[in-house]
């Protein structure tokens, strides 16, 4: 199994898969091996279908089932190159509306930390619509204070994109990037190097708890809120798509359901 995982890691790295995807696929392969206790090459299609079926019965999210199916399909079609293997289908993704914070709630969350670095980190995540991985990987050279822009390098899908920087953040941002070289991370840990995603998420959850907001929000809700508030301000959905780095505009259009003014203006008959 270790040799197989090494081969898979090399193949996926050469295929330009992200480290996150490689780790997720490897976890699926380990789980399959643990269940069947024999080489993955010898496992039949019926057994693999039963494996997915059991995950569905266990109540796993459709996204988790889809990831497992994609991992299996990659292994048997790309690595083993089995001509007789029919790709496994998976359940349709469930469509749920994202958790969005109001502008006042975002302000309230930002006020809950006295730590300058943490406050600017959350401010940039919201003000630029960044994922947690994009925030912790942000380097000094990626920020153009004069142009009020940020370059997100190798975001999801290995794509670079340009997004906006709020002028409200400049003074505080300059306080802790002055003296750093261009290649240093903007948000470094106390021991040097970049912050971990776990640390950034914990900072958000602590601020959320202090704010008294009861919504099931996560760090990613700041990005959801960025998109929703831009649409509420009249920004065209295609520009929002570019700022978020979505390949398909349908992904961006989910925010139009959250901010539909026509629906919000309807009054309940009760």
Q: Among residues 141, 153, 156, 180, which one is catalytic?
A: 156
Q: What are phi and psi of 178, to 5 degrees?
A: -60, 130
Q: Among residues 55, 131, 139, 194, which one is catalytic?
A: 131
Q: Among residues 139, 161, 194, 246, which one is catalytic?
A: 246
Q: How far apart are CA 172 and CA 181, in angstroms?
A: 17
**Collapsed DSSP state (helix, strand, coil) of residue 131:** coil
191 classed as catalytic: no
Q: Please, are residues 144 and 233 in contact by the beta-carbon 8 Å criterion?
A: no
Q: Please, are residues 188 and 195 in contact by the beta-carbon 8 Å criterion?
A: yes
Q: Among residues 139, 194, 223, 224, which one is catalytic?
A: 223
11 burial via Cβ count (<10 Å: 0-12, 13-18, 19+): middle
223 classed as catalytic: yes
Q: Among residues 51, 76, 185, 255, which one is catalytic?
A: 255
246 classed as catalytic: yes
220 classed as catalytic: yes
The secondary element (H helix, E strand) that includes residue 160 is strand 159-164
The secondary element (H helix, E strand) that includes residue 12 is helix 2-14
Q: Which residues are catalytic?
A: 131, 156, 220, 223, 246, 255
């Amino acid at each position: 199994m270790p040799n197989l995982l090494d081969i898979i890691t090399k193949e996926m790295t050469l295929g330009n898969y992200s480290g996150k995807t490689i780790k997720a696929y490897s976890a699926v392969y380990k789980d399959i091996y643990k269940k069947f206790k024999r080489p993955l090459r010898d496992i039949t299609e019926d057994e693999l279908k039963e494996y997915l079926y059991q995950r569905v019965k266990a109540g796993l999210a459709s996204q988790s089932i889809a990831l497992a199916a994609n991992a299996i399909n990659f292994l048997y079609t790309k690595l083993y190159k089995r001509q007789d293997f029919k790709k496994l289908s998976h359940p349709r993704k469930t469509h749920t509306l994202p958790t969005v914070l109001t502008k006042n709630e975002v302000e309230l969350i930002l006020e809950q930390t006295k730590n300058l670095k943490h406050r600017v980190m959350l401010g940039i995540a919201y003000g630029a619509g960044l994922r947690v991985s994009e925030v912790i990987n942000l380097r000094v050279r990626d920020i153009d204070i004069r142009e009020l822009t940020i370059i997100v390098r190798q975001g999801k899908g290995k794509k670079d994109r340009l997004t906006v920087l709020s002028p409200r953040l400049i003074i505080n941002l300059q306080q802790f990037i002055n003296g750093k070289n261009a290649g240093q991370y903007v948000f470094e840990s106390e021991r040097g190097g970049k912050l971990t995603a776990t640390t950034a998420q914990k900072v958000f959850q602590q601020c959320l708890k202090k704010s008294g907001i009861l919504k099931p929000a996560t760090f990613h809700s700041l990005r959801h809120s960025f998109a929703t508030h831009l649409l509420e301000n009249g920004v065209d959905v295609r520009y929002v798509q570019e700022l978020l780095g979505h390949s398909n505009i349908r992904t961006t259009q989910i925010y139009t359901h959250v901010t539909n003014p026509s629906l919000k203006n309807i009054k309940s008959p009760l």
